[in-house]
Structures are given as C-alpha cells and as structure tokens.
Amino acid sequence: MSAATKAGKGMLTKKSKLIDKRIRTRRADRAEKLARYRSKMSVGLKIPPKFVGAEKKVKPHPDLFWEFVALQDVMTELDRLAAIGIGLTAALPTSMRDALNISFPDVARLLNTSTATLERRLKNDTPLDLVASERLDRIARIANMAEGILGGREEVANWLVRPHPSLDWAEPLSLCETEIGARQVKRILSAIEWGNAA
C-alpha cells in the first residue's frame, strides 16, 4: 500500500470521527431541548402523569384506555397538545388493543408505527412519538364521542370495528388514521345522534 493511500485512509478516518462526533452532539442537544420542552409542558396539565411520558411503569389494561377516553371531556386543546408533545405512555396502545379487541398489528398500523417499536417502547417505558400520540388522541376523541352517543363501552368497541355502509363499508376505526377520515366518522356519529339512519 502506498504512502498516499495510507494518508488518504487516515484523513477519511479522521473525517468520519469528526462527523460521528457532530452527530452525537446534535442528538444530545435535541434530547436536552426535548427534556426542557417536556418539563415546561407538563406544568399545569389536567392529565394524570400515568398517561404522559414515562414517569413510572404503567401496566396496560383495557380500563386504562377507557380512562383516557373519559379524560377527553375535561382536557382542553392546550392540554391535548401538551400531552401529545410530551408523548403518551406506551401502555395505551396495548390497552386500546384489549379494549377494542383488535390485533396488535392493526394498532401499529393505526398509530403509523411497527409492532416491534411499540413493544420496545413498552418494555423500555419510552413514551410514544408525536405521530403515534396524536393518532391515539384522535382515536380517544372519537371513542369519547361514540360513547356519549351509543352508550356503553362494548357498543362503542363493536361500532368502531364494524364496517359501516355510510363510510363505503370501511371500519370507523380505520378511518381515524387521518384527520379527514376522523371527520367523516364524527359526521356519522352526529347523524346517529340526531336520529338519522346513518
């Protein structure tokens, strides 16, 4: 190997180490900013700590999801934004799966993540990311509205996973992946509330 080749490899190694150091520094800065943001946002929230962040280990159970659904009545939009920004607890997706009797891959699809990511977040007590938290919040809002109109939890769970003719035979829950789809579900629920055969 020539001296020029060795010198070139040495430069490449120094450059890659410098790039790695910059990446680590940026990640640390982002983590610090996120921690500061989360601590500011959690002050004055009307949401119990068990639903946001990873304060302490929360065990998934169906009632946890329904408690979160009921909490939607007292949360302001600012509370919801803060909870989404902090990240909802990773126990909620498993609780939603059990409460609505759907598969874990379906939960992952609804939250735009993978089952492996959800399982890892639950195992490590890591809060959900922004997208998954926002989608879970949207589903809870729809479930809350449905519970007020349809009655009990079992009726809500059945209605959300049953294909609906007014939604082109799509399941209301599957439409909650997007805000536009959720608005369609709200429209159907409002029609049911006002006595229209929707």
Same domain, 33 and 53: no
pLDDT tens per residue, range 122-160: 888 889 999 999 999 999 999 999 999 988 899 999 999
Q: What is the pLDDT of residue 46?
A: 62
Same domain, 53 and 37: no
pLDDT tens per residue, range 70-101: 988 888 888 888 888 888 988 899 999 999 99
What percent of the chain shows pLDDT beyond 70?
A: 75
Same domain, 2 and 58: no
Same domain, 110 and 173: yes
In a domain, 71, yes or no: yes
Residue 82 domain boundaries = 48-193
Same domain, 113 and 157: yes
pLDDT tens per residue, range 45-71: 566 777 776 555 677 787 889 999 998
Domain count, the chain: 2
Q: Are the C-beta atoms of 106 and 176 separated by less than 8 Å?
A: no
What percent of the chain shows pLDDT beyond 90?
A: 46
Tokens 């159970």 found at = 61
Same domain, 87 and 15: no
Same domain, 145 and 68: yes
CB neighbourhood size of 143 (10 A)? 28
Same domain, 1 and 60: no
In a domain, 82, yes or no: yes
* 44's tokens: 């004055």
Same domain, 14 and 52: no
**Cα(83)–Cα(52) distance, rounded to whole angstroms?**
6
Phi, psi (5° rounding) for residue 186?
A: -60, -40
CB neighbourhood size of 84 (10 A)? 22
Dihedral of CA 145/115/55/178: which sign? negative
pLDDT tens per residue, range 155-183: 999 999 999 998 899 999 999 999 999 99
**Cα(132)–Cα(116) distance, rounded to whole angstroms?**
14
Q: What is the pLDDT of residue 60?
A: 75
Same domain, 37 and 52: no
In a domain, 198, yes or no: no
Same domain, 110 and 60: yes
Same domain, 3 and 92: no
Q: Is it the case that residue 8 has pLDDT exceeding 80?
A: no
- Whole-angstrom CA distances from 16 to 19, 20, 52, 182, 192 are 5, 6, 38, 46, 61
Q: What is the pLDDT of residue 182?
A: 93
Mean pLDDT score across all residues of the chain: 82
Q: What is the pLDDT of residue 51?
A: 76
Q: What is the pLDDT of residue 104?
A: 92
Q: Is it the case that residue 197 has pLDDT exceeding 80?
A: no
Q: Which residue has the higher pLDDT, 14 or 112?
A: 112
